[in-house]
Amino acid sequence: MSLSVSRAAREQRPDGDALRSAWRDAFRAARAETERRAAPLSPEDQVVQSMPDASPTKWHRAHTTWFFEQFLLVPHLAGYRVFDERFAYLFNSYYVAAGPRHARPKRGMITRPSVAEVADYRAHVDGAVARLIETAAEPELATVTGIVEIGINHEQQHQELMLTDILHAFAQNPSAPVYDPGWTLQDARDGLAVVRPENFELSRGIQWIGHEGEGFAFDNESPRHEVLLQRAAIARRLVTNRDWLAFMADGGYATPSLWLSDGWATVQSEGWRAPGYWQESGGQWSAMTLAGLKPVDPDAPVCHVSYYEADAFARWAGRHLPSEAEWEAAARAEALPDAFGIVWQWTRSAYAPYPGYRAAPGALGEYNGKFMINQMVLRGSSCATPAGHSRISYRNFFYPPSRWQFTGLRLVDYPA
């Protein structure tokens, strides 16, 4: 969505009104999607924080709003009155440069402002942003729409987290609440039935990776640069629950030699014996999902596995996880029909700056760069990723033991 806006914008430079109108529509659509995701949730649902890594729905709704207020309205809309002076403290996530903030693990304590007050906050800011888009003077319009674009993309990231976080919260409730009775993880079988052969062959050579073109991208997707690839055969399809059940049946979770040392320590301290949210009853596996507790579908892609598990599975299968460059090269070759919209795919690449990367100065420079340690890159996108937020150069990242995201994997092999 934001991509098409910015392209449209650039093609229509002469017509300022069309540009403003396109941005206003994109902004409204993004904001409405957040509300659509929150709609099934009661006030109680929206306030809980089920672990330090997750955040309450209400917090996501308020934080994304604060982002526009702090980085767009305060510096650029003359005469703008902050909705509530206390919100900057409550709803700043981690922008040290934007001032002190409430401790992350205590977000679930903020019963007030209420859900209704947060709705008022959103309306207040929405109106102001719309006004700013309409009225910004030409010289400043590019700056304004640039921040709107970042804000939209930022909000889309939180839309994904709203679903993963509420799933985690609901999974703590023994009565397994349902977020959306119709939710299901797309089964990739049909789309893949015709793909032949099973693997896509990458040839040795220098490839460009990273963001190119005029569309929006985060700073961590740049600078675009060359990498040297080895010959490799990357799987066209995702690893499925059937594959995973075979790994489990073969003692995958009980065989230390399959695991990285830190991974094995996690298996033992956490008592893992299946993917996240799986539970066994009477010899059958079910999984907590956004549709409640459901039997595990063998043909669906495996989901809610950590990097440690993905790595152990690859070793068990006698194969590897792809590097992010291999993934990107295969995706650019249109060889990965299920790359987007199902599960994020772990790569074996540690999250690191691209050569020559330099974080921007100021608070927005804290967006990506300071997290480039101890995490692994995931590529593609998931069922929870909002429309318009996926792209080939996108770099998602999580810690190796994390598995509350919609995370799966595909494998790669190297010719002898």
| Shortest distance, position 46 Cβ to its own copies, whole Å | 7
Nearest to 275 by CA among 256, 262, 289, 291: 289
Are the C-beta atoms of residues 55 and 161 closer than 8 Å to each other? yes
| Shortest distance, position 50 Cβ to its own copies, whole Å | 6
| Shortest distance, position 109 Cβ to its own copies, whole Å | 4
Q: Smaller CB distance to its own copies: residue 76 or 225?
A: 225
Local structure of 200: helix, strand or coil: strand
Q: Smaller CB distance to its own copies: residue 76 or 102?
A: 102
What's the one-letter identity of residue 114?
S
Torsion over CA: 217, 223, 225, 231 (sign) = negative
Tokens, residue 215: 């569309």
Phi, psi of 244 (to 5 degrees): -70, -40
Sole residue written with tokens 């892609």: 301
Q: Smaller CB distance to its own copies: residue 135 or 173?
A: 173
Rg of the chain over all Cα atoms, to the nearest angstrom: 22
| Shortest distance, position 186 Cβ to its own copies, whole Å | 27
Q: Which residues bind its own copies (CB under 8 A)?
A: 42-48, 50, 58, 86, 89-90, 94, 96-97, 102, 106, 108-115, 169-170, 172-175, 177, 206, 225-228, 230, 256-257, 259-264, 307-308, 311, 348-350, 352-353, 355-356, 365-366, 370-374, 400, 414
| Shortest distance, position 405 Cβ to its own copies, whole Å | 18
Are the C-beta atoms of residues 179 and 170 closer than 8 Å to each other? yes
C-alpha 342/C-alpha 408 separation (Å) is 9
Sole residue written with tokens 């299901």: 184
Q: Smaller CB distance to its own copies: residue 152 or 290?
A: 290
C-alpha 158/C-alpha 86 separation (Å) is 21
| Shortest distance, position 197 Cβ to its own copies, whole Å | 21
Nearest to 225 by CA among 243, 206, 198, 238: 206
330 contact partners, CB below 8 Å, separation of at least 6:
200, 202, 234, 322, 336
- What sections of 255-296 are H helices per DSSP? 261-270
Q: Smaller CB distance to its own copies: residue 278 or 307?
A: 307
| Shortest distance, position 340 Cβ to its own copies, whole Å | 26
* SS3 track for 210-230: CCCCCCCCCHHHCCCEEEEEC
| Shortest distance, position 410 Cβ to its own copies, whole Å | 17
Q: Smaller CB distance to its own copies: residue 79 or 361?
A: 361
